[in-house]
Structure 1
Amino acid sequence: MSESILSISDNSEVILHFDLKLSDGSAVDSTRVNKKPAKMVMGDGSLTKNFEDCLRGLGAGDKKTFEISANEAFGMPNPDNIYHIDRSKFAADTELSDGMIMGFSQPDGSELPGIIRAVAGQSVTVDFNHPLAGQDVIFDVEIIEVR
């Protein structure tokens, strides 16, 4: 009697390798770099719903590539998430440069990453949109195990 292969559905525990690339092929993230697959549970918030939807129905051994539009991946940049912060709010010895990503403490104690977009005199422009907002992405997956 052969064991049936589980396919990914709600609450499945999934072990997978993935590569996330921009549409031009440049690498964004990969579990293969450290040769350590990712482990997640569907619906736990590790992946957005649209990324999870790509995985549904796949089983151990499946390899698949998905092209995901910016709207479906990380959304489009929201101009309301760009702030102009006075330079005095940063430690005097903090070196700020365009493209730098740094954490900003939130009132609840959590940290939110922001991208320094410009430093002009005493004004620092910080972008709190997801770094991949507005980008189409390629999501390559290899499912190792489904439980």
Structure 2
Amino acid sequence: MQQVKKGDTVKVHYHGKLTNGSTFDSSEGREPLEFEVGGGMVIPGFDEGVTGMAIGEKKTIHIPADQAYGPKQEEMIMEYPRDRFPADMTPEVGMQLNMSNGSGQNFPVMIAEVRDTVVVLDANHPLAGEDLIFDLELVSIDGGSPLIIMP
């Protein structure tokens, strides 16, 4: 029976939940997630979770924050003057925005708090600091490229 190993391209159906049971993402109703194991395309804990699985196997994995999106970083939370927002925009907690770092690179932020004169913006990944739970089902394995190619 073929088992997933580093370098394989796999297809996986998943249901991602927080430790409080709320769903943050799922492949239900969509194509399964396809990625190369060990290729840096998914969080490290997800790579480790599928390694060793066989086609058709289902399992639940628990990924601590440090193997997912890392801890929340305080330096990624900043105050932005409220009067610098467009006049026709009402900032609200939970609103997703894109900011520019001045070098032409955009990055997503979320409004964490609205005060009288400033808006607190959080540039951490929305799942930073969270332990994650995934229900997985391995759909397919496509073995990696062979190291030795026969003529």
Question: Structure 1 length normalisation: TM-score?
Answer: 0.85
Structure 1: gaps (5+ residues): none
Q: How many Å separate the matches in 2 of 1:112 and 1:100? A: 14
Partner of 2:62, secondary structure, is strand
Q: How many Å separate the matches in 2 of 1:90 and 1:7? A: 52
Q: What is the CA RMSD across the aligned residues, in angstroms? A: 1.8
Query: Cα distance, 1:46 vs. partner?
Result: 2.5
Structure-2 residue corresponding to 1:98: 93
Structure-2 residue corresponding to 1:21: 17
- The match for 2:2 among 3, 6, 30 is 6
Q: Which has the larger radius of gyration?
A: 2
Structure-2 residue corresponding to 1:143: 138
**Aligned residues, how many?**
142
- The match for 2:127 among 83, 107, 132 is 132
Q: How many Å separate the matches in 2 of 1:96 and 1:69? A: 32
Query: Cα distance, 1:146 vs. partner?
Result: 0.6
Contact 2:44 2:67 in 1 (8 A): no
Partner of 2:49, secondary structure, is helix
Structure-1 residue corresponding to 2:79: 84
Query: Cα distance, 1:39 vs. partner?
Result: 1.3
- Counterpart of 2:117, as a letter, is Q
Query: Cα distance, 1:41 vs. partner?
Result: 1.6
Percent of aligned pairs with the same amino acid = 32
Q: How many Å separate the matches in 2 of 1:83 and 1:125? A: 6
Query: Cα distance, 1:102 vs. partner?
Result: 1.9
